[in-house]
Amino acid sequence: MKKFYCFLTYILIIAVHIFPLSIKVRTFDHNDFTRVVFESDSRFSYVMERGSERDLTLFVKDKPGNILLRSDLSGSELLIRVENITNGEDPGIKVKGSERFDILKTFVLNDPFRVVFDVNRKTGSSEPAPAVTESEENQNEYGSDSSEIRTVKKKRSSIGVICIDPGHGGSDLGAVGVKDTKEKSITLKVSNKLKKIIERELGIRIVMTRESDVEVALDSRVAKANNQNAQLFLSIHVNSSYRKSARGPETYFVSLKATDKVSSQLAMKENSSFNGMDDVPEDDDLKMILWSMAQTEHIRESSRLAEYIQDELNILLNTKNRGVKQAPFRVLMRASMPAVLIEIAFVSNKYEENRLRDDSFLDKVAGSIYTGVSKFIYYYNSTFK
Amino acid sequence: MNKKIIYILISLAVIFFVTSLIIYLSSSGTFKRAIEDKKGDNEVLEETAPELEKVKIFFLTNRSSLFLPKEYEIEKKEDRIEFLKNFLDLMMNESSNFISPFPEQTRLQSVFYIGDKQMAVLDFNEELIINFPGGSRGEIEFIYFFVDNLCYNFKEIKKVKILVAGNEYKTLSGHLDLENPYNPDYKYFRR
């Protein structure tokens, strides 16, 4: 009897090697993602691993032996190579990309059995890519009890788009100094400088709310940032006060409790059972109320962003004890991303107006804002990746 | 003596007497009325001897980035709206001795109090918008000069709404939201 079992095992081992698991890998580029499909005639359990941001490996569990690999990568420019690898006894298939990529979604289909990954090019940051969320894992329509995703992490896109908002413009001059220094001109200059530095140093796409001396409605500015899916919003301004001695940079993020409406909205949100806007009922008024407090979701990050920028401006302008400030800025309230308003200096102060007229000073201001932003991006990626 | 002359003298004496009597009576009446009037005035003054109420108004100065306090005593009014108007009048005129956080031509057109919302509504003239110099700090100083001072001194006011020429504006000069009423934020006060 014992010999019989040994014989069966032997036959089984031979069969596994004679009839390996056949998997076909095919890829296809869609408009905003690339799909990679692992297709097989028989079901298998799998584990997905990522060795780097440029690859994706599917290890087959409980089916030792080789994989008969066939591939068709002609449909994709992103995924360019596929190869067999092993991890101990588990055979696997590694798919390599021409660029770093994020995994958007994974799911399983049957008849025939397919494991599908949707990926897209990773933009901007050099930080490691986020993987799949637990909720997305649960989106597996057909269930994948025998499968597991080892790289489950909190998904948060890294910074790919930043919106820069040069304050005022056109007939809206903004604050004007005694030497006729116009806020609208200074904000545009600094914004253009900042745009160039960020694009050059970080490779992040910049969306400008205005690129010339035109008037743009306040609400349109933040709408543009939201529509372009910007992940940071930087509104650049020049300050003014009746107190002529007022000077120094000020960086603001929105205040939630300053105005009665926002305060009560916040209370309503805190007291309600829903956590996000997706769950909001059909009531248009309620939707509008929640829309007007879009910034509440990002208040902590906005605060951190403001701190990083303010610290850099303090160093540049040698100002001490200047913390970040909160106020109910209209342009920030509806921003659905971390958002700050930066007041570079006071044009109402004689000394600072002279500095604002100096182009090399504006270069330094843009450099300081860039440093603050890049520190925030590092923090953001390390916290939310 | 000629009889005719005697009649003339008697007539003159009568006229003189009557005239004197009239003058005396009329002058004494006026005097009496004057006394009465004076007495009446005193009585009125005694009745409405102004009861004073202490208020503390925080003003913008060059000495600090925060509003600094100054105490005043102003006449207490049964009508709290009247008292509020007097308070605002003092604020706006007295601030000329400090730094006025609003354009010189700015006038307060009207003041309302909405009891069920515990909200004061201040309606300024259009000069405020037209001549406002801009800047976030300038807007903060203007808004909180009114919001904080009113909420600090009037326990019945919990929030303040600002209108311009009877209309709701989005902002003063492109920064702080003006569509919603403001709660006080005393971080701008040095107390």
Q: Is B97 on the interface with A (CB under 8 A)?
A: no
CA–CA gap between residue B187 and residue A257 (Å, rounded): 13
Q: What is the DSSP string of A36-85?
A: EEEEESS--EEEEE-SSTTEEEEEEES--S-EEEEEEEEE-SSEEEEEEE
- Whichever domain contains A223, its CATH number is 3.40.630.40
Residue burial B67-103, b: 16+ Cβ < 10 Å; e: rest: beeeeeebeebeeeeebbebbbeebbeebeebbbbbb
CA–CA gap between residue A307 and residue A315 (Å, rounded): 12
Check: CB of residue A196 under 8 Å from CB of residue A170: no
Beta strands in A284-372 (DSSP E): 325-327, 339-346
* Segments in A83-168 forming alpha helices (H): 134-137
Check: CB of residue B185 under 8 Å from CB of residue A258: yes
| B119 vs A contacts (CB less than 8 Å) | 260
B181:A257 CB<8 A: no
Beta strands in A161-220 (DSSP E): 161-166, 205-208
pLDDT at A154: 38
pLDDT at A134: 30
pLDDT for residue B47 is more than 60: no
With respect to residue A281, please indicate whether it lies within any of the assigned structural domains.
Answer: no
- Whichever domain contains A95, its CATH number is 2.60.40.3500
Q: Provide the residue range defining the domain that includes A222.
A: 161-256+293-384
A236: helix, strand or coil: strand
With respect to residue A265, please indicate whether it lies within any of the assigned structural domains.
Answer: no
Q: Which of A121, A149, A177 is the last residue of a domain?
A: A149
pLDDT for residue A278 is more than 80: no
Same structural domain, A102 and A123: yes
Q: Which of A127, A149, A171 is the last residue of a domain?
A: A149
* Domain locations in chain B as residue ranges: 1-49, 52-188
DSSP element (H, E) containing B40: helix B3-47
pLDDT at B119: 96
Percent pLDDT > 70 in chain B is: 86
Same structural domain, A118 and A212: no
pLDDT at A116: 86
Q: How far is B104 from chain A (nearest CA, A)?
A: 11
A214-228 per-position pLDDT tens digit: 999 999 999 999 999
Quickly state the pLDDT bin for A61 (edges 50, 70, 90): confident
Residue A189 burial (CB count, 10 A): 18
A225: helix, strand or coil: helix
ipTM: 0.73
pLDDT for residue A331 is more than 80: yes
Selecting from B60, B177, B180 the residue whose C-beta is nearest the C-beta of A243 gives B60
Same structural domain, A10 and A115: yes
A327:B99 CB<8 A: no
Quickly state the pLDDT bin for A4 (edges 50, 70, 90): low
With respect to residue A280, please indicate whether it lies within any of the assigned structural domains.
Answer: no
Selecting from B65, B135, B177 the residue whose C-beta is nearest the C-beta of A259 gives B177
pLDDT for residue A273 is more than 60: no
Check: CB of residue A333 under 8 Å from CB of residue A274: no
Strand pairing partners for B182? A259, B160
Pull the structure tokens for residue A305: 């962003």
| B133 vs A contacts (CB less than 8 Å) | 175-176, 240, 242, 348
- Among A212-216, B30-34, B71-75, the range scoring the smallest mean pLDDT is B30-34
State which residue of chain A sits closest to B171, comparing Cα positions: A330
Same structural domain, A107 and A25: yes
State which residue of chain A sits closest to B134, comparing Cα positions: A175
Residue B12 burial (CB count, 10 A): 10
Selecting from A219, A240, A333 the residue whose C-beta is nearest the C-beta of B134 gives A240
Quickly state the pLDDT bin for B177 (edges 50, 70, 90): very high
Same structural domain, A170 and A124: no
Pull the structure tokens for residue B180: 């919603």
Same structural domain, A12 and A40: yes
Same structural domain, A89 and A195: no
Q: How far lies B14's CA from each of B2, B6, B18, in Å? A: 19, 12, 6
A7-31 per-position pLDDT tens digit: 666 655 555 555 678 888 888 777 6
Same structural domain, A9 and A136: yes
State which residue of chain B sits closest to A244, comparing Cα positions: B62
Same structural domain, A127 and A219: no
Q: Which of A149, A173, A191 is the last residue of a domain?
A: A149
With respect to residue A243, please indicate whether it lies within any of the assigned structural domains.
Answer: yes
pLDDT for residue A275 is more than 70: no
Same structural domain, A119 and A169: no
Residue B188 burial (CB count, 10 A): 18
Query: Structural domain tally of chain A?
Result: 2
With respect to residue A269, please indicate whether it lies within any of the assigned structural domains.
Answer: no
Same structural domain, A233 and A331: yes
pLDDT at B106: 95
With respect to residue A214, please indicate whether it lies within any of the assigned structural domains.
Answer: yes
Q: Is A333 on the interface with B (CB under 8 A)?
A: yes
Check: CB of residue A223 under 8 Å from CB of residue A292: no
Residue A59 burial (CB count, 10 A): 20
CA–CA gap between residue B144 and residue A251 (Å, rounded): 18
Same structural domain, A246 and A315: yes
CA–CA gap between residue B98 and residue A312 (Å, rounded): 34
With respect to residue A282, please indicate whether it lies within any of the assigned structural domains.
Answer: no
B137:A255 CB<8 A: no
Handedness of CA A15, A17, A21, A24 (dihedral sign): negative
With respect to residue A270, please indicate whether it lies within any of the assigned structural domains.
Answer: no
Selecting from B141, B159, B185 the residue whose C-beta is nearest the C-beta of A242 gives B141
DSSP element (H, E) containing A113: strand A113-121
A178-196 per-position pLDDT tens digit: 999 999 999 999 999 999 9
> What are the backbone angles phi and psi of residue A115, rounded to the nearest 5°?
-110, 125
Q: How far is A155 from chain B (nearest CA, A)?
A: 34
Q: How far is A243 from chain B (nearest CA, A)?
A: 6
